[in-house]
Structure 1
Amino acid sequence: MISEHASPLATLGEADAGGQNVHVAALAQRLAADGHTVDVYTRRDDPALPERVPLTDGVDVVHVAAGPPERLPKDELLRWMPEFGDDLAARFSDPDVRPDVLHAHFWMSGLAALRATRRSDRPGPTVPVVPVVQTFHALGSVKRRYQGVADTSPTARIPLERTLCADVDLVVATCHDEVRELRRMGAAEDRVRVVPCGVDLGVFTPSTTRAGTADDAAPLRVLSLGRLVERKDVATVVEALARLGEHDPPVELLVAGGPPLDELERDPEVRRLRALADRLGVADRVRFLGAVSHDEVPALLRGADVVACTPWYEPFGIVPLEAAACGLPVVASAVGGMLDTVVHDRTGLLVPPRDPAAVADALVRLSDRRFRLRLGAAARVRAERQYGWAAVARQTAEAYAEVVSSSSARRPLPQWRATDAPLVPAGGTR
């Protein structure tokens, strides 16, 4: 695996450390448990890091020298991908190191993977072609559409993602909404597979006490969990609370995420949301918890009644899966991966994005304790059937086997120029 900015060893909650780190670590460990051997190549961002660090039996994290050994925002890493790819190519010239398949996580990892395996202009031994599987985790075209001028991605991202769609052996999408976007980008239908993200079913488990609480008059505890950025649209949930007025039972909102508790008042998004809650008269029903470690999330979920995920867009969204595994219904925007992970009226309620009235109506429905417990129980069953890491790893391994045995891995491939500029096929950018 290549995960250029998202190391499985990173501390979650730090800049650019989140769902991809969890995904790569969990998938690698489950593949190893199934008998595979996994090396995860990530960029060295600290000179003190050892070259190779065991993550678990069968999984090593390998630190690659590409750019200065310091932490850099991921949007600044494109210039170092040629160096990353050349380092991999040198390693793969050794048959004992060369993998059967490369799985690139994020678009820049895909560029490094192709450079490592598809160039014929480097001196020394020719590296045999290694099939490349690509998971984008997020697409530049979607990010640009919803963030506009606020998008900090390199300008070359979208055309280079189109190049990857054409030149990798298989794209593993995490949801069906992503497949539709990939087709618009030119990805061939027969070279795209859907394998969802997963959840640890042994860590994220239902509460053994709250489901049995019989006090229907207790406040409905709604949890919003994740990065505190505007596109996550916690504001819509705050506005929904205002629409509920003096609802019986009362509804309270817990907002987990953002900076540590003692730094909340300096955070611009927290200040914006607090001002909104004050203006709407619901400040006494909105509580900000600050940063929450990954280890604290299961208990936090088990203490809630409903999880609200109402972003403008979401490539996949891991929080709805974690909520489902904990037996909680989710009020989710009908966007991205949540169209797959939340089944309306069965495991949660889907609402249009940026629609406080729809969120308010959903919370009224979920005030019915029996209804929300029924949805939460169905959500746990569905998580067990479709989203445990055992199932996700099995589907991923099937995708690997497909490209390893496929003749597509031996088709004529583009030659890649050795430049320090963004990687482009010889002859220009498609």
Structure 2
Amino acid sequence: MHIAMISAHASPLTGEVEPDEHGRHVGELSAALVRAGHEVTVYTRKASGRQAAEVCSAQGYRVVHLPAGPAKHVPRDELLPYLGEFTRRLRTRFAEDLPDVVHSHFWLSGLAAVFVSMAAPMPIVHTFHSLGTTRRRNDENDPSPVERIRLERMVGQSVTRVIATSEDEVRELRGMRVTGRHVSVVPRGMDCDRFRPDGPRLTRRLRCRVVSAGQLAPRTGFADVVEAMTHLPDTELVIAGGPDRERLPQDPVACRLRELAERVGVADRVRLVGQVPTERMPELLRSADVAACVPWYEPSGNEALEAMACGVPVLATSVGDLADTVVDGATGVLVPPRRPEKLAAAMRALLADPARRDFLGATGRERVEVHHRWDRIARDTADVYEESRDRALTCSVS
């Protein structure tokens, strides 16, 4: 099958900056599909003057950088004005080489795919990764364009198939009037060879260590973990995420977390290490007794999968993908969001019970191996592609 991935806002290639979570997802999925015998081309926006027009990745998929707006990094919430140029260039490409199926990622790419399909009908599979309705409901400072929710609804209702990553997302889509018969659930994938229990681990300073990773934003719940540390003596907290360590002093969220740690008296046991490269994350995770993944809302849950793949017990909030990824009491522990006292009690119980931690770590690893290996995710995704091609063909005949 000839598959076109559209990821306007995120390249899967490592360049001047490491790919974000969406870019890594597109790259890993594309690589797994190539291993399964498919031909994959990723179309993304040219975000640097140094990027070649076309690149063949080491994993065998092609990446095409389409000029659209300035050849520099532009935050994804500011890309909408350049989407018209990106769509026109994409339409030209498809006129020369029409794929068997298109898989768009994030609402901007879905919008481009829908517009291109008006000139060249083709099956479109779409993954939102995150939804504007969820973000706006939980983040009063949401910087997304005001049109996002309306355009997401249009994308969801226009594409051939939507791939949701959790049952929570399916419910949210239903509220957007994207009906269940147009939605398939395929969970997120994980590199179980890179993220595994055996291997080097970073040294720690205290008897117990909690690691919490994710975007450096209030919604990630890092402040709740810092507050919980007041109930956990002889325990250190390592927070990974945000800019490089050198730029952390200028980051407003990092500054507020450090101020909070000072105020509650745990500053000597809380370390912010900034962005950790993907290849170094397993070493950090293996050094932890518990991984705390406690966002207020969660569109991905990738950090929990990484910890589970490393055999580290996960303490997570029961939101978004996490509610599917972590089976409470079997592969981890779930707590309500924004409840530091509940979080502290659950964390204290886990840290006091090594046998339970070993059990949850082992079952978590097993769950990731069975349900989240990229080759399985690629197979399930290819099945959705085939169903979408059949449905598109049926609609064209009728």
1:209: how far off?
A: 8.2
1:407: how far off?
A: 4.2
Give, in whole Å, the separation in 1 of the partners of 2:295 and 2:373. 24
- The counterpart of 1:320, out of the listed 292, 304, 320, is 304
* Deviates most, 69-78 or 387-396: 69-78
Residue number in structure 1 paired with 2:63: 61
Give, in whole Å, the separation in 2 of the partners of 1:195 and 1:302. 27
Q: Residues 117 and 130 of structure 1 are in contact (CA less than 8 Å); yes or no, is this contact kept in structure 2?
A: yes
Give, in whole Å, the separation in 2 of the partners of 1:51 and 1:374. 49
Q: Residues 5 and 74 of structure 1 are in contact (CA less than 8 Å); yes or no, is this contact kept in structure 2?
A: yes
Structure 2: which 5+ residue stretches go unaligned? none
Amino acid at match of 1:4: A
Give the secondary-structure state (helix, strand or coil) at the position aligned to 1:26.
helix
- The counterpart of 2:288, out of the listed 300, 304, 311, is 304
Residue number in structure 2 paired with 1:374: 359
Give, in whole Å, the separation in 2 of the partners of 1:263 and 1:85. 35
TM-score by length of structure 1 reads: 0.87
Aligned CA distance change for structure 1 residues 407 and 261 (closer, same or farther; 3 Å): closer
1:6: how far off?
A: 0.5
Residue number in structure 1 paired with 2:223: 235
Amino acid at match of 1:278: E
Q: Residues 75 and 154 of structure 1 are in contact (CA less than 8 Å); yes or no, is this contact kept in structure 2?
A: yes
Residue number in structure 1 paired with 2:326: 342
- 1:184 and 2:175 equivalent? yes
Residue number in structure 2 paired with 1:207: 198
- The counterpart of 1:4, out of the listed 8, 19, 30, is 8
Aligned CA distance change for structure 1 residues 264 and 298 (closer, same or farther; 3 Å): same
Give, in whole Å, the separation in 2 of the partners of 1:328 and 1:284. 24
Q: Residues 13 and 293 of structure 1 are in contact (CA less than 8 Å); yes or no, is this contact kept in structure 2?
A: no
1:279: how far off?
A: 1.4
Residue number in structure 2 paired with 1:111: 111
Amino acid at match of 1:157: R
Amino acid at match of 2:113: A
Aligned CA distance change for structure 1 residues 351 and 57 (closer, same or farther; 3 Å): closer
Residue deviations 1:200-232, cap 9 Å, x none?
Answer: 01000003688xxxxxxx722100112211111
Two-structure CA RMSD over aligned residues (Å): 2.1
* Deviates most, 177-186 or 68-77: 68-77
1:274: how far off?
A: 1.5
Q: Residues 199 and 283 of structure 2 are in contact (CA less than 8 Å); yes or no, is this contact kept in structure 1?
A: no
Give, in whole Å, the separation in 1 of the partners of 2:397 and 2:46. 33
Structure 1: which 5+ residue stretches go unaligned? 120-126, 211-217, 414-430
Residue number in structure 1 paired with 2:379: 394
Give the secondary-structure state (helix, strand or coil) at the position aligned to 2:44.
strand
May I ask how many residue pairs the two structures share in their alignment?
Answer: 391
Residue deviations 1:47-68, cap 9 Å, x none?
Answer: 3322110013541000112223
Amino acid at match of 1:139: L
Residue number in structure 1 paired with 2:151: 160
Residue number in structure 2 paired with 1:274: 258
When Rg is computed on C-alpha atoms for both structures, the one with the higher figure is 1
Give, in whole Å, the separation in 2 of the partners of 1:357 and 1:409. 55
Amino acid at match of 1:224: S
Residue number in structure 2 paired with 1:425: none
Residue deviations 1:141-185, cap 9 Å, x none?
Answer: 11111112x111111110011111111000001111000000000
Map 1:10-21 to 2 at 5 A. Answer: 10-11=14-15, 17-21=19-23
Give the secondary-structure state (helix, strand or coil) at the position aligned to 1:93.
helix
Map 1:29-108 to 2 at 5 A. Answer: 29-56=31-58, 58-94=60-96, 97-108=97-108
Give, in whole Å, the separation in 2 of the partners of 1:410 and 1:81. 28
Give the secondary-structure state (helix, strand or coil) at the position aligned to 1:70.
coil
Residue number in structure 2 paired with 1:220: 208
Residue deviations 1:253-273, cap 9 Å, x none?
Answer: 111122322333222222211
Aligned-residue identity in percent: 46
Give, in whole Å, the separation in 2 of the partners of 1:70 and 1:32. 29
Give, in whole Å, the separation in 2 of the partners of 1:407 and 1:272. 51
Give, in whole Å, the separation in 1 of the partners of 2:78 and 2:310. 37
Give, in whole Å, the separation in 1 of the partners of 2:103 and 2:200. 41
TM-score by length of structure 2 reads: 0.94
Residue number in structure 1 paired with 2:134: 142
Give the secondary-structure state (helix, strand or coil) at the position aligned to 2:298.
coil
Amino acid at match of 1:204: F
Give, in whole Å, the separation in 2 of the partners of 1:407 and 1:43. 27
Aligned CA distance change for structure 1 residues 411 and 161 (closer, same or farther; 3 Å): farther
Q: Residues 160 and 392 of structure 2 are in contact (CA less than 8 Å); yes or no, is this contact kept in structure 1?
A: no
Residue deviations 1:29-83, cap 9 Å, x none?
Answer: 0000000000000011223322110013541000112223222121121122222
- The counterpart of 1:262, out of the listed 236, 243, 246, is 246
